[in-house]
Amino acid sequence: MSLSIPIAAKQHGFVVDGLGAHSSRTIMSHELRLLLAACPQSASVQEYQHAVVEENVLLKQTEATRRKSWRYLRELYSLDAHTPLFRLLRDLWYQETAAQPMLALLCAIARDPSLRATAGIILGADPGSEITSEILAEAASERLGRSLNLKTLGKIGRNTASSWTQSGHLQGRTNKVRVKAQSHPTFVAYALLLGYLCGSRGEALFNTAWAQLLDASPHTLHEQAFLASQRGWLEYRHAGTVTDIGFSYLLRKEAGQDE
């Protein structure tokens, strides 16, 4: 299953076109953890930038590296509380520490066409199968539909391989193989929400590519959606073949937002 983004989802922070940060960086999950730990949830874009460039919370050696890191983190995650994808990630970020790399991956896929272009390879791979950077680079080349030089494709292949390793979908340092990622209620809630923002509803939310990336059976996804509802992250009602999912808390209006 490939992963495509409807144009209407752009209003929520999804990025449809372009190349994406993976031509130069991975999902930078370690840097994202450092940044979010250093800034309050109410931080503005300018405060995040100040933390990275001026306070050097990412512990980079040069100003040039700090500025590049800021650029790519901003591209991957928006870092703007007015962007729903980032605000929702921030809402869930500290609920389960073990879920943070997967949350980062899901948000990055929504915003990075290069990483998104490789999702079909991961979704279609059986556990134990080898996934090389060359395979990922070829998938990116085919899906992006643009002429990319070999150097850029090589970077995309290596960086996406690293990102899928950070999220738990791949394992291994040199020879990477597909493994099943561990599932948590936190990113089940986020994945269902991403599907919702892309137009899916009810039981269909459990069959989107977002849900499939969680490497869990439908039964497990329903169980964890129920747990997420108990924690107040979503509303879950399931009877027979009918499923109703709502997101009144995560999609709440914040002070200052337009009605």
- Convert the pLDDT of each residue in 87-141 to its tens digit: 999 999 999 999 999 999 999 999 999 999 999 999 999 999 999 999 999 999 9
Distance (Å, rounded) from C-alpha 56 to C-alpha 239?
51
185-246 sits in which CATH class?
Answer: mainly alpha
Q: Where are the alpha helices (DSSP H) in the chain?
A: 29-38, 45-53, 63-77, 84-92, 100-111, 113-117, 119-124, 133-144, 150-166, 185-197, 209-212, 218-230
Distance (Å, rounded) from C-alpha 19 to C-alpha 16?
10
Q: Are 101 and 29 in contact (CB under 8 A)?
A: yes
Q: Show me where the domains of the chain are located.
A: 7-178, 185-246
Distance (Å, rounded) from C-alpha 82 to C-alpha 212?
28
Helices 63-77 and 45-53 sit at what angle, rounded to 10 degrees? Answer: 150
CATH of 7-178, one of 1.10.3540, 2.40.50, 1.10.10, 3.30.160: 1.10.3540
Window from 8-22, 164-178, 240-254 with minimum mean pLDDT: 240-254
Write down the pLDDT at residue 160: 98
Distance (Å, rounded) from C-alpha 182 to C-alpha 169?
9
245 φ, ψ (degrees, to nearest 5): -120, 130
- Convert the pLDDT of each residue in 75-86 to its tens digit: 999 999 999 999
- Convert the pLDDT of each residue in 44-71 to its tens digit: 999 999 999 999 999 999 999 999 999 9
Write down the pLDDT at residue 26: 97
| 8-state DSSP, 182 | P
| 8-state DSSP, 148 | -
Write down the pTM of the prediction: 0.94
